[in-house]
With several copies, the nearest count.
Chain A
Amino acid sequence: MKVLYFAWVRERIGTDCEEVSPPAAVGDVGSLVAWLRNRSEGHAEALSDLARVRVAVNQEAVGPDHPVASGDEIAFFPPMTGG
């Protein structure tokens, strides 16, 4: 699956996009976040507090229980500040 990062999440992780292949047990957003935290110190820090980070699966805002599957586009970013 493709994982995208935006704004300060992107800066802390150090990349805007990565292809990842988590184990089959990673079936929802919450377990994906737990798995991503182990990839680097930047991941651990950026994704440490899920209250500060929003998630989209296939370009739609979702909660931590939302399923994820290979082929999905998952994005992590701070609360929006446009307009």
Chain B
Amino acid sequence: MIRLQREDFDPGIELASLGEGNPVIGGICTFVGLVRDCSAAGPVTAMTLEHYPGMTEKELARIEAEARARWPIEDVLIIHRHGRLLPGERIVLVATASAHRQAAFDACQFLIDWLKTRAPFWKREEGPAGARWVEARAEDDDAAARWREDDRKE
């Protein structure tokens, strides 16, 4: 399931329904990304996430489909916020449920790696020196490149 929203979410409530009652599930891996009070460019007092309505949902659906094609996943949840957020606030949640823990871990990491480089979100940080658009990081490209297009396990 994919959700795009301005408001905060409660990971406990969201995870409670992930794969609920599916006795095949042996492991659930979750990643939650938070706004830090400091980035590569300096102190951060707030962050605004802009996105491309329409394409964002489609791209997240493509990323979910790709993860399901690569790993035996029983359930997936992606929640991404947009709008203005303060340090300590949740930005994103990615969770995967699978019979096996390695698949859950790999699929969860794949989802966040691909999401960071493919889903049309842009961060604008506010700091003491004004606002600046966050630059894409080479590390994120490298992380996404670990999961090559032709690497499907099927």
Contacts and interface: CB of A to CB of B under 8 A. Distances in A.
A–B in direct contact per CB < 8 Å? yes
17 contacts: A6-B52, A7-B122, A56-B55, A59-B52, A61-B59, A78-B133, A78-B136, A80-B122, A82-B49, A82-B123, A83-B33, A83-B80, A83-B112, A83-B115, A83-B116, A83-B119, A83-B121
Interface of A: 4, 6-8, 56, 59-61, 75, 77-83
B95 interface: no
Contacts of B52: 4, 6, 56, 59, 75, 77
B136 A81 contact: yes
A4 B120 CA distance: 13
B36 interface: no
Nearest to A79: B136
B78 to A, nearest CB: 10
B120 A6 contact: yes
Interface of B is mostly: mixed
Interface in B56-95: 58-59, 80, 91-92
A4 B52 CA distance: 9
B50 to A, nearest CB: 6
A82 B136 contact: no
Contact of A82 (B58, B92, B133): B92
Nearest to B81: A82
B120 A56 contact: yes
Interface string B120-132: 1111100000000
